[in-house]
Amino acid sequence: MKPIQVGLLGIGTVGSGTFNVLQRNQEEIRRRAGRGIEITMVADLNVERAREIVGDGVDVVADARQVIANPAIDIVIELIGGYGIARALVLEAIAAGKHVVTANKALLAVHGTEIFAAAREKGVIVAFEAAVAGGIPIIKALREGLTANSIQWVAGIINGTTNFILSEMRDKGLDFDVVLKEAQRLGYAEADPTFDIEGVDAAHKATLMSAIAFGVPVQFDKAHVEGITRLSAVDIRYAEQLGYRIKLLGIAKRQAAGIELRVHPTLVPSKRLIANVEGAMNAVMVQGDAVGTTLYYGKGAGSEPTASAVIADLVDITRLHTADPDHRVPHLAFQPDELHTTPILPIEQVRTAFYLRLRVADQKGVLSAITSILATSDISIDAVLQRESNDGEHQTDVIILTHETQEGVMRAALAQMQALETVLAPIVSLRKEELA
Three-state DSSP state, 276? helix
206 and 334 co-located in one domain: no
What is the structure's pLDDT at 432? Answer: 98
Residue 392 lies in a domain: yes
Q: Are residues 294 and 192 in the same domain?
A: yes
143 and 252 share a domain?
yes
Q: How many domains does the chain have?
A: 3
Helix pair angle (26-33, 13-24), 10° resolution: 80
319 & 172 share domain? no
Output the pLDDT for position 325. Answer: 80
CA dihedral 172, 173, 179, 182 (to 10 degrees): -30
Whether residue 10 is found in the same domain as residue 156: no
| Alpha carbon 382 to chain centroid, angstroms | 30
d(Cα 66, Cα 89) in Å, to the nearest integer? 11
276 falls within a domain: yes
Q: Quick count: other Cβ atoms within 10 Å of Cβ 241?
A: 10
Residues 99 and 46 in one domain: yes
Which one of 313, 338, 363 terminates a domain?
338
Residue 292 lies in a domain: yes
Backbone phi, psi, residue 70, to 5°: -75, 115
Does some domain include residue 252? Answer: yes
Query: 117: closest CA among 27, 218, 239, 187?
Result: 218
Q: β-pairing, 224-225 with 258-269?
A: parallel
Pairing relationship of beta strands 75-78 and 351-361 according to DSSP bridges: unpaired
In a domain, 170, yes or no: yes
CATH of residue 410: 3.30.70.260
Query: Do 38 and 67 sit in the same domain of this protein?
Result: yes
**353 — phi, psi (to 5°)?**
-85, 165
Quick one: 271 and 314 in the same domain? no
> Both 110 and 170 in a single domain?
no
Among residues 262, 284, 54, which one has the least CA distance to residue 163?
A: 284
State whether 425 and 330 are in the same domain.
no
Give the catalytic positions in this structure.
205
- What residues make up the domain containing 126? 4-135+303-338
| In-domain check, residue 323 | yes
Same-domain status, 353 and 409: yes
Name beta bridge partners: 163: none
For residue 344, is it within any domain?
A: no
Please give the pLDDT value at position 391.
67
Q: Which of 338, 360, 391 is the last residue of a domain?
A: 338
Residue 209 and residue 321 share a domain:
no
Residues 30 and 24: their CA atoms lie apart, in Å, by: 12
Beta strands in 346-394 (DSSP E): 351-361, 381-388
Tens-of-pLDDT digits for all 436 residues of the chain?
Answer: 899 999 999 999 999 999 999 999 999 999 999 999 999 999 999 999 999 999 999 999 999 999 999 999 999 999 999 989 999 999 999 999 999 999 999 999 999 999 999 999 999 999 999 999 999 999 999 999 999 999 999 999 999 999 999 999 999 999 999 999 999 998 889 999 999 999 999 999 999 999 999 999 999 999 999 999 999 999 999 999 999 999 999 999 999 999 999 999 999 999 999 999 999 999 999 999 999 999 999 999 999 999 999 999 999 999 987 778 877 888 888 888 888 989 999 999 999 999 999 999 999 999 999 999 999 999 999 999 998 877 667 899 999 999 999 999 999 999 999 999 999 999 999 999 999 8
- The CATH number of the domain holding residue 66 is 3.40.50.720
Q: What is the CATH number of the domain that holds 183?
A: 3.30.360.10
**343 in a domain, yes or no?**
no
